[in-house]
């Protein structure tokens, strides 16, 4: 039994390594990775990094675009939390004890979460733009749904992996599983849940910028326009705004986490 498992593991490793090598063969190395004018453009872009355009009107546009991007990210994360928290609790199976009820609940919640997160936010964006047109609603849905799927999955694991002792003590005091969730699992999982949520919020800001390429406005849209104008200095200004946003969220999450550490 064990020997067979080991064998099938080796086989799997072999298949994966094989697939990797095969994929290397399929890259067209001969035609070159960089097209003829490419190197020159790369040089210009690199040079422009040291000359970002900082005129008041561009800074104002950057601030405006940052605000739009943050607004999308915050609204998208709110939706993601509304999806991920309840579905994560159900998918963790901590509230149900009976065999088939538990399997049904956990199974369907996990399926929904997997469905939500297996489709990339850009694909969701195309779908929603096709359905509701270029509206902020499309961007928020496109961000919130896959992020909700990821959050739910992580939450369900964190809620399962808390120390058993305090939970046992709560049950001993007559607490039902719902109360154990509120007084034991959630408080104990909260620091990790928060820190992961903040990490996802950072990702959300980058995604919100990308989503604006779809034509929804924001930093990505400004970057796209600058690139189209070959105005690399202007482009870098907006990229710097993006970096600033991500750093700010990182700093904020650090402060919140420090306060939560026991």
147, 200 contact by CB (below 8 A): yes
Question: And the tokens for 11?
Answer: 């086989």
Nearest distance, CB of residue 87 and another protein, angstroms: 19
Interface with another protein includes 86 (CB under 8 A)? Answer: no
- Over the window 15 to 54, marking each residue x when it contacts another protein by CB under 8 A and - when it does not, the resulting string is ----------------------------------------
Quote the CA–CA distance of 94 and 109 in Å, as a whole number: 13
155, 84 contact by CB (below 8 A): yes
Nearest distance, CB of residue 187 and another protein, angstroms: 4
Q: By CB under 8 A, what part of segment 154-183 binds another protein? A: 165-166, 168-176, 178-179, 182-183
- b/e for 142-175, b at 16 or more Cβ within 10 A? bbbbbbbbbbbbbbbebbeebeeeebeebeeeeb
Q: Which is closer to another protein, CB of 129 or CB of 180?
A: 180
Nearest distance, CB of residue 97 and another protein, angstroms: 12
Nearest distance, CB of residue 259 and another protein, angstroms: 11
Q: Which is closer to another protein, CB of 96 or CB of 231?
A: 96
Q: Which is closer to another protein, CB of 184 or CB of 218?
A: 184
Q: Which is closer to another protein, CB of 82 or CB of 230?
A: 82
Helix (H) or strand (E) holding 248: helix 232-260
Q: Which is closer to another protein, CB of 87 or CB of 193?
A: 193
Interface with another protein includes 136 (CB under 8 A)? Answer: no
60, 247 contact by CB (below 8 A): no
Quote the CA–CA distance of 154 and 110 in Å, as a whole number: 11
Q: By CB under 8 A, what part of segment 182-201 binds another protein? A: 182-184, 187-188, 190-191
Q: Which is closer to another protein, CB of 44 or CB of 160?
A: 160
Strand ranges for the chain from DSSP E: none
Nearest distance, CB of residue 261 and another protein, angstroms: 9
Nearest distance, CB of residue 255 and another protein, angstroms: 17
Quote the CA–CA distance of 185 and 160 in Å, as a whole number: 8
Nearest distance, CB of residue 207 and another protein, angstroms: 30
Count of residues making up the chain = 262
Quote the CA–CA distance of 158 and 179 in Å, as a whole number: 17
Interface with another protein includes 98 (CB under 8 A)? Answer: no
Largest CA distance in the chain: 74
Interface with another protein includes 126 (CB under 8 A)? Answer: no
Which of 61, 40, 37 shows the shortest CA–CA distance to 235? 61
| Residues near another protein (CB under 8 A) | 165-166, 168-176, 178-179, 182-184, 187-188, 190-191, 260, 262
């Amino acid at each position: 039994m064990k020997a067979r498992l080991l064998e099938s593991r080796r086989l799997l490793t072999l298949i994966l390594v094989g697939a990797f090598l095969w994929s290397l063969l399929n890259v067209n190395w001969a035609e070159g990775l960089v097209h003829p004018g490419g190197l020159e453009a790369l040089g210009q872009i690199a040079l422009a990094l040291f000359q970002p355009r900082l005129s008041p009107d561009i800074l104002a546009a950057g601030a405006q675009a940052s605000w739009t991007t943050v607004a999308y990210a915050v609204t998208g994360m709110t939706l993601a939390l509304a999806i991920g928290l309840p579905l994560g609790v159900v998918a963790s199976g901590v509230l149900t004890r009976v065999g088939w009820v538990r399997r049904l609940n956990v199974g369907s919640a996990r399926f929904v979460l997997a469905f939500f997160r297996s489709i990339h936010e850009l694909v969701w964006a195309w779908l929603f733009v096709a359905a509701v047109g270029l509206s902020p609603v499309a961007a928020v849905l496109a961000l919130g749904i896959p992020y909700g799927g990821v959050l739910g999955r992580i939450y369900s694991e964190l809620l399962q992996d808390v120390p058993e002792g305090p939970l046992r003590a709560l049950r001993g005091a007559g607490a039902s599983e719902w109360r154990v969730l509120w007084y034991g699992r959630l408080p104990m999982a909260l620091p990790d849940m928060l820190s992961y949520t903040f990490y996802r919020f950072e990702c959300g800001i980058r995604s919100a910028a990308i989503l604006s390429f779809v034509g929804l406005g924001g930093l990505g849209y400004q970057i796209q326009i600058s690139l189209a104008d070959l105005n690399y200095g202007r482009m870098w200004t907006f990229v710097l705004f993006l970096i600033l946003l991500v750093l700010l969220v990182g700093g904020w999450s650090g402060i919140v986490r420090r306060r939560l550490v026991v």
